[in-house]
Amino acid sequence: MTDNKTLSGGKKEEDRDIIIKNGKTYYNNMFYDMKLKKSNIKNAGLGVFSQVNIDNKVVIGEYDGKLVKSTDKYNADYTMQITEKIYVDGSKYPRPFTSMINDTYKTNFKHNCEFVIREKKQKVLIRTIRPIKKGDELYIDYGEEYWTSRE
């Protein structure tokens, strides 16, 4: 039996949207209504846009995916480190919306979200760092290491 719990923001698990873009499937694993569409960042591909106003310091979703060990093969572009040896890989389809939040690296846009690591629960959460207005794109800091490894 499925536990149809209510998430933060009033959404129920069964209400999560499934979206197909360019033949790839994504699911809205966020606790608030979000829309996946072309990012405001040039050449960034898709971005995540809020469909509601959200306050500051609110957990809006979980960066979920397959838990992998540091010795496993995984897609580094969509992998978040939880502990020294455990990572979550959000690259597999269907891919969570949270994996589509872009960084503002080398742009004039400002981050409005942050990663919150919960080592004991082996989870990565997404939390707002300023109020988000309906229609705003979500942006998060991937960290300096992400970008220096690509230069």
CATH of the domain at 33: 2.170.270.10
Closest CA relative to residue 122, chosen from 68, 57, 59, 61: 68
- Which residue range forms the structural domain that includes residue 28? 8-148
> Considering the domain boundaries, does residue 88 fall inside one?
yes
Residue pair 129/112 in contact (Cβ under 8 Å)? The answer is: yes
136 falls within a domain: yes
Number of domains the chain contains: 1
Tokens 């080398």 -> residue: 106
Q: Which two tokens stand for residue 83?
A: 């502990």
Q: Report how far residue 138's alpha carbon sits from residue 114's, in angstroms, rounded to the nearest whole number.
A: 10
Q: Reduced to 3 states, what is the DSSP secondary structure of residue 89? A: strand
Residues 128-140: pLDDT tens digits?
999 999 999 999 9
Q: Is residue 1 part of a domain?
A: no
**pLDDT tens, residue by residue, 114-132:** 999 999 999 999 999 999 9
Q: pTM for this structure?
A: 0.80
**Average confidence score pLDDT of the chain:** 81
What's residue 18's pLDDT? 65
For residues 19-45, give the mean pLDDT: 81
